[in-house]
Every structure is written in C-alpha cells, then in structure tokens.
Amino acid sequence: ILRVPRALNLVFHNIFIHVPHHVEMRIPWYRLPQAAVAIEEAFPGTVVDQPLSFRKYLRSARTCKLYNFEQGNWMSYREGWTSPPSGP
C-alpha cells in the first residue's frame, strides 16, 4: 500500500491501495481503504504500507512482474508470454 495525498487517491480511484484488489477484485474502488484496514488487522505484519516516492515506484515497476505459482518464481512479462490472447 502506497500512501499518497487523499486528492491523488481520489483522482486515481485508490489504485495506490492495491492489496485488496488482489484479495477480491469485486471490491469497489471507494471501499479499498476500508478493505485494506481489514486485511492489515486480519494479517498483521504482512502488508507493507509506506509513503509513495517516485524512486520506489520506479523500482517496483521494474522488478514486480508476474509470479509463476507452478514453478514458484518471479518472471518477466516476456517470460510469461506463452501465446497471443485469443480474440472473439
């Protein structure tokens, strides 16, 4: 969870409070802050909550990619690309 000024969170629909989205994608954007608190209370010490810095954002964007649960490792988007998406 990245803490940013409230106005910025409103403009970006709480995208910086992203953990609850991965727990349950149906949580509406305006409920993400409450969901984040509930997750932190239920699983103390597992959620990283810190102020946003541009340097940290760039580092995360470079390193956080795709997780392969079958192999138990992180991989790049290129490594995760197996076939083009099928269209309608």
| pLDDT value of position 5 | 85
CA-based R_g, the chain, Å: 15
Banded pLDDT at 88 (limits 50, 70, 90): low
Instruction: Tell whether the model's pLDDT for residue 84 goes beyond 70.
Output: no
CA atoms within 13 A on the CB side of 75: 13
- Let me know the angle formed at the C-alpha of 82 by 76 and 87, rounded to the nearest 5 degrees: 120
Specify the pTM: 0.58
Record the tokens describing residue 83, joined without a space.
């076939």
The answer on pLDDT for 44 being more than 80 is yes
